[in-house]
A and B are shown apart, each in its own frame.
Chain A
Amino acid sequence: MWQRETFKKIKQIPGEEHVLPGTALCAGCGGLESLRLAAKVLGDDVIYVNAAGCFTMLAAYPYTSFKGSWLYTTMGSAPAGAQGVRDALDVLIAKGRLPKSENLKVVVLGGDGSSYDMALSSTSGAMNRGLDFYYFCYDNEAYGNTGMQLSPATPYGARTATSPCSLQHPSGASQEKKDLFEIWRAHKPPYIATVAPRYPLDLEEKFARAAAFPGPKMFLALAACPTGWLYDPAETPEVAKLAVETGLWPLKEAINGVVTHTYIPKRKPVESYLTLQGRFRHLFEPTVQTDTIQHIQARVDAYWVRATREGT
C-alpha cells in the first residue's frame, strides 16, 4: 500500500505561491492548477523550458507568471533546451564561473500536443542521456491553444474540431489515447508519475519524492480543460475528480520502472465523467451511443483488472 510520507495533511502544503495570479490562461485551467501545486515543491530556483502550447502564454512580454526563469524553445525540442541549460549550468559551476548557490532546477513545460508526438525524439534523447530535469506535461487531451484539435492524447469517443462526430465516425475520435506513461517507462527513467489537480496531497508527495532522484523526473498532469472539454470553469475540480474516480486517469508512479498505483478508485461508471463534458455530449444526444460508452468502460475495466492482477 502506497503511503504519503511528506504530505499527510492539506495544511502541510506551503501557502506561498510561485506561479503568480493574473495569467493569460483560461479560467479553471486544470493544467495551471497542477503546475501551481507542483511549484510549491519546486520553488523559485527554477528555469522553465517551454514548448509551444497554452502555457507559452504564461510569459508574454513584458510579463511573466514566475519568480523563476523562463526559456521558450520550440514545439518539438524543449527537452533539448533543458539539456543545453542543464549542461551549461553544470559546466559554468564546475569551471567556477557560477557559484553553486546560483544553480537552478530545469523544468520542461509541454502540453500533450508537444509531448505525445513532436517532442518524443527530444524527450527520448533526454531520458536516454539521463538528463537531470523535470518534465511536466499538462495533458488536456487535444491541441488546446489552437482551438481543440485531435491529438494523440485525445481519448476515444471525444469530439474535437478535427474529429467531429459524423455518420462515418459517430463516436468522434476513433483512436485510443496513446500511452505516454508506458513510452516513458520503456526508457527507464528513475521517476515517473501521473498527477491530477484535485488530488493535491498525492501531487505534492510525488514532486517531493522525485527530488531525491537524479536524472529524468517525468510528470504527466491531468489538465482538465473547461474551454476545450466544454464545461463550466467552476466544475474543474469535479471533472478532475471524476477522471480519477472513474479510473480513466490512474494516479500512479514508476520508480526505476516499478509501477505503483498511488490511489485505487472504487471506479464510478464512466458516464458520470462523460456526461459532465460537452466533448462527449454526442454520446448521449440525440441518441445514446451505448456501444461507444461500453467500449470506454471496457477499456477502463481491462486496465484495472490488469493493474490489480499485477498487484501494482
Chain B
Amino acid sequence: MDSQMMTGNLAAAWGVRLADVDYIPAFPITPQTEIVEALAKWCEGGELAARFVTMDSEHSMMTAAGAAEATGARVFTATSSQGLLYAFEVLYSVSGWRAPLVLVNVSRALAAPITLESDHNDVLAARDSGFLQIHAETCQEVLDSILMAYRIAEDERVMLPVIVNLDGFSLSFTREPVSLPDPEQVQKFLPPFRPAHLGFKASAPHALGVAVLGGTPYAYFRHQQHLASINALEVHREAAASFEQLFGRRYDLVEGYRLDDAEDVLVITNASASAGKAAVDAAREEGKRVGLLRLRMIRPWPADAIRGALRGRRAVAVLDQNLAPGQGGILFQEIAASLYHEAERPRALCSFIGGLGGQNLSVGEFRAIFEQTAKAGVSGKGIGPVLLYTQAEHREMTQLQMVAAGTQRANGL
C-alpha cells in the first residue's frame, strides 16, 4: 500500500478524487481552503473528471451543490464555521431534496469574537439539518470516511447528504501518514452514482422541493427523512464491513479505547480523541481504570452503541468542544438522554467544556477530568458543566487585558 505524509485537508481532497465526483462548487474559507485548492488543480489538470466552479457565497455554493446532486451528478463541497452558518438554510433544503452529496466541514469556532481555530459549535449547529454527520480523528479516517460517506449517502435506504467533519488546524494542517486506497478497489466499494429517483430530464419531468399545504404532507416527508437517517446505522455497518474487507481498516459508529475493564469513561470526538487516548494511557499507568469512547457518527445518533459502551460504568465524563450558552455541552445532553432508560446506567454523568476556539487541552486538564469523574462516581453525584480554564490561561488572559487597558489609556480614552 502506498502511504504518504499529508495534511487532513489533502487527505480530504484525496478522498474526493478517489470517489470520482462529477461536480465541485466551492467557496474559500480558512481552514478549509486547501481542500478546494487541491481539487481545483486536479480538475484543471485532468486528474479528476469533475467541473469545479467558484461560487459567490457558501449559500450559493450549497444551493448549487444540492441542485446538481438532485440533477444526478455526484457532488462534493467543503466549508468551515461562518461558511457553514451562511449556508445554513440550504442544508435543510438539500436534505429535504434527499440529495446525497458529501460536505466536508473543517471545524472552526464561530464569531464573535472572530477566530480561526477549532471547536464544534459550527458542525453541531447543523445536527438537526437532516445531514448525516461523521466526525474523524485522523487524516486517514478523513479520507476513508469520505468514501464511506458517499456509499452510505447514496444507498437507496438513506438518500441523505453527509457532513464529514475534521478539526481545523489540529487535523486540517497536521501531516500524518495516509495510505491511499487503490482506485480499482475503491470502485468495488463505491459503485458509480446512478440514482433511480433523482434527476431532471426532458422525458421524465418532475418537481422537487415543492410547497406542501398543511401538516399532513409536511410531517410525512419529515418522518421519511428521520426513518432514512435511522437506516444509515445499518447501512454504515454494512459499509464498514465491506471497507474492512477491501482495505483492512475498520470504522464503527463509535470507537472504544481501553474500555474492557474501565470503571470511568471519557466521551470525546474528533482529533482531541488522540490526546484523550494518550491521557487514558497515562492514567492507566497510574493504575486508574479509565477508558475512552469516541463518537464517530453523530447523526444518526448511535444510541444503542453508546448505551452498549457506557452501561455498567461507574462514571462517565463528556468533554464537549462546544458551548451552548445557558445550557452547557451539546453532546452531554444527548448522552444523558440516551442513558436515562438504561437500567445499568452510570452512577454519575459529568460535563466538561474545553478546547474552545483551539484552546489547548493539557495533560493536567485530562488528569483533573479523570479525578473529578472518579470522585463523582464514588459520590454518585454528577458535576458540570465545568468550564475548563487553567491558571496558565488565566494568567495569559490577564496580561492581554492589561495590554488592552494600557492601549486605551495611551489613546487618552
Contact = CB atoms under 8 A, between A and B. Distances in A.
Interface stretch (A97-105, A136-144, A232-240, A279-287): A97-105
A89 interface: yes
Contacts of A87: 23, 25, 51, 53, 64, 68, 73
A108 B75 CA distance: 21
A121 B60 contact: yes
Given A87-B68, A90-B51, A122-B60, A66 B205 contact: yes
Given A91-B22, A104-B200, A84 B67 contact: yes
A212 interface: no
B72 A88 contact: yes
A88 B23 contact: yes
A76 B202 CA distance: 26
A80 B212 contact: no
A60 B210 contact: yes
Nearest to B54: A129
Given A64-B207, A71-B208, A80-B61, A125 B56 contact: yes
A153 interface: no
Given A87-B68, A101-B202, A92 B93 contact: no
Contacts of B182: none
Nearest to A56: B211
Contact of A95 (B49, B53, B57, B93): B49
B213 A60 contact: yes
A297 interface: no
Q: How large is the interface on B (under 10, 10 to 19, 20 to 34, 35 or more residues)?
A: 35 or more
Contacts of A77: 59-60, 63, 90
Interface string B57-92: 101110111111111110100000000000001100
Contacts of B50: 91
A260 interface: no
B157 to A, nearest CB: 23
Contact of B25 (A56, A57, A74, A84): A84
Interface in A35-54: 44-45, 47, 49
Nearest to B207: A70
Given A83-B53, A84-B67, A125 B202 contact: no
Interface string A227-268: 000000000000000000000000000000000000000000
Interface in B188-213: 194, 199-203, 205-213
Given A60-B213, A84-B65, A74 B201 contact: no
B60 A80 contact: yes
B384 interface: no
A186 to B, nearest CB: 15
Contacts of A295: none
A47 B206 CA distance: 9
Contacts of B388: none
B212 A61 contact: yes
B77 to A, nearest CB: 10
Contacts of A49: 67
Contacts of B201: 69, 98, 102, 104
A46 to B, nearest CB: 9
A292 B391 CA distance: 68
Contact of B57 (A47, A56, A59, A121): A121
A175 interface: no
A82 interface: yes
A101 B204 CA distance: 12
A278 interface: no
Contact of A71 (B60, B70, B211): B70
Contact of A84 (B56, B71, B206): B71
A180 interface: no
12 contacts: A45-B202, A57-B211, A69-B208, A73-B209, A77-B59, A80-B60, A84-B69, A85-B67, A88-B23, A91-B73, A102-B202, A122-B56
Given A61-B210, A70-B207, A84-B71, 13 more contacts: A59-B210, A69-B207, A70-B210, A72-B209, A74-B59, A88-B23, A90-B51, A91-B51, A102-B201, A104-B202, A122-B59, A124-B56, A128-B56
Q: Closest 7 A-B residue pairs measured CB to CB?
A: A84-B67, A125-B56, A80-B60, A88-B71, A84-B64, A84-B68, A72-B209
